[in-house]
Structure formats: C-alpha cells, structure tokens
Structure 1
Amino acid sequence: MTSSDEAALQKHRVHLRPVTLGDAAPAALHLLPCDVLVSQSAPVGRFFTPAIRQGSDGLEVSFRGRSLRGEEVAVPPGLVGYVMVTEEKLIGKQDFSGGSENGSQEEEREPVEPPEPLERDFDRFIGATASFSRFTLWGLETIPGPDAKVRGALTWPSLAAAIHAQVPED
C-alpha cells in the first residue's frame, strides 16, 4: 500500500511548449564526465570556457587541472537535439496549439484548451532554450569509447527504424 505522497510522486504530466522549439537558438554543447549533485542553475560559462586544442588522437582540454580528451559527435541525420528547461507552472488556460505568436495585441486569439484538465500539482511545462546538431563528448584522460552510454542512445533511432520497417515479401 502506498501513501498519498508516494502516489503523488508517481503521477506527473509533462507539457511541451511547441512554440519554443522554433525559437531555440543554436548552441555549442559539451558533455563532461562528471556528476553535479545539485539541480539548479549554475554559471557554467564562468567556470568552463575551454581552450580546446587539437591533439594527435582528438580534442584536448583541461578542466580544473584534469586532462579531458574528446571528439565532436553528430546527432543522427533527420534529428535535432534541444536543451529543455522546466518552466514555472502556469494555472488556467494554456496555449497548446503550437501556433506562432506573431499576431498583434489587437488581434489576440483565444487559447486552445488542453486535452485534459490541468492539475495544479501534477503538471510540468517544458520549453526549449537552445538547439544543437552536434556536441563535444569528453572523457577523463581518454576519448570515450564506443561503449559510452550516449553513443548507444544515438544509435537507437536507426535501430528502431530498422526494427519497425516493413519486411519485403519474397
């Protein structure tokens, strides 16, 4: 039997704000081999402004006195990566249409009702702040190998397409 708090933790709905996808500016991303034990904003640019050097076997940089080796990794063709952030919860009617906000203030549209009523404590809204088609994957002392988890994640779209493709009849 679960308490009401445990049940509340298991019930979440995430709503994407489609209009933010078109507004997401391209960004240079770095995937570092570390864990950050805090879930909040941090001035990363203040602490990580890499002076990347091209070494004999890939990219080289040092971060807080440690040597990092890396390489550029491309997002699979036909896909785009987005940096997403959780927005503050907004109560009431939300615009889930994904339409552009190019209209003037005199010409306001009525927002479209969401498919389900919003529940104040369970709904989360996310929006894109940046987009990317490639990023730099860093490893501590060595370039991450083919068994890196991110490489497995990037091969999944092509594997899923092959699994679900129509099999030709002979």
Structure 2
Amino acid sequence: MTTLLKVPNLTKEISSELHFMPAEIQYNGSANVKSYFETNIRKKSENKMTASLRGRPLHGTKFEVPSGYTGVIFNESKKSVTEDDERELTATGSFDSFNYWNLDREPSHGDRLHQALTWIDIAKALHSPVDNSLSDSQGSLKSEASI
C-alpha cells in the first residue's frame, strides 16, 4: 500500500481548539465541538482542565508541539477500498498546540503520547555531531568503548 502526502503551502493555522481524545468515534465529518464539548471544559490551573464526554470524566492539559516541529492536519481525499489501494492525504492546516485528554486520570509523562514525543529529543542527541573537544577522562572512555 502506498500513501501519497500532498502538502501545499501551509500558511493556514487552525484557529479553533484541537482536541486529542481517548475515544473512537464512528463518524467522519464536521461536528459542533465548540457548542457541545468546549462549553463544559473547566480550568483547574493554567494548563490543567476537566470535562466530560457522554458522562465520562476527562482530564486534560494543553500540549505544545515540540520546538522546531509543526503539527499538520491531513484529510484523506482519495478513499481506499482495500488495504492494497493507494491512499492520498492532503494537508489542510497546521497547529502548534492542542488539548490532550485522558479518561479517568490526569495526563502524565507515562502516557504513550508523551513517551513517543520524547523520542524526538533522544533522536536529536543520537544523530547530532560528536564534539571533538572531549576531556581526557571522556577520551579514554571513548577509546575503551571502541575496543
């Protein structure tokens, strides 16, 4: 299966709030989130908030996209019928923050989203150039590791 990503000039930032929810919603289309969900969001502190979805408690936090990265929203413009069909996704907007929600517990660094985005810092450290100005103690450690 091939996935084609079309990324036109992304100057359009999403003006409304974005929400990452712990739910699978069997619906594709627009929804009046501002009237039916955002009206019941209660702020607990600067970054922490609570809400409910169909009577279930949600705990949320505002999540910033890591520095140097941009969040992109894609819409599938060519629907695939089978798994082997080519998929075509078109970028429709960009964002730099979103509201991240957990069901029944506060978001933490143990959540999969936080752990996945931690990999960005790890990958940067692994792939950045090595500084040649190592001190003697670090230099001897480097030569021992290469043996």
Instruction: State whether TM-score is above 0.5.
Output: yes
Q: Does 2:123 correspond to 1:160?
A: yes
Decide whether aligned partners of structure 1 residues 24 and 122 sit closer, same or farther in structure 2, where only a CA change above 3 A counts. Answer: farther
The residue correspondences of 1:87-166 to structure 2 (distance < 5 A) are 87-88=77-78, 122-166=85-129
Partner SS for 1:158: helix
Tell me the percent identity. 30
Alpha-carbon offset, residue 70 of structure 1: 0.8
Q: In the alignment, what sits opposite 2:74?
A: 84
Distance in 1 (CA, whole Å) between partners of 2:85 and 2:18 is 31
Counterpart residue identity of residue 166, structure 1: P
- C-alpha root-mean-square deviation of aligned residues, in Å? 2.3
Q: Does 2:35 correspond to 1:45?
A: no
Distance in 1 (CA, whole Å) between partners of 2:113 and 2:106 is 13
Alpha-carbon offset, residue 127 of structure 1: 0.7
8 A contact 2:48–2:62 mirrored in 1: no
Q: Does 2:19 correspond to 1:30?
A: yes
Counterpart residue identity of residue 16, structure 1: L
Counterpart residue identity of residue 7, structure 2: P
Segments of 4+ moved more than 6 angstroms: none
Which one of the candidate residues 67, 70, 88 is aligned to 2:60?
A: 70
Equivalent residues, number: 125
- RCO higher in structure (CA 8 A, sep ≥6): 1
Structure 1: which 5+ residue stretches go unaligned?
A: 1-11, 90-120
Q: In the alignment, what sits opposite 2:140?
A: none
Alpha-carbon offset, residue 32 of structure 1: 1.3
Instruction: Give the TM-score, by structure 2 length.
Output: 0.72
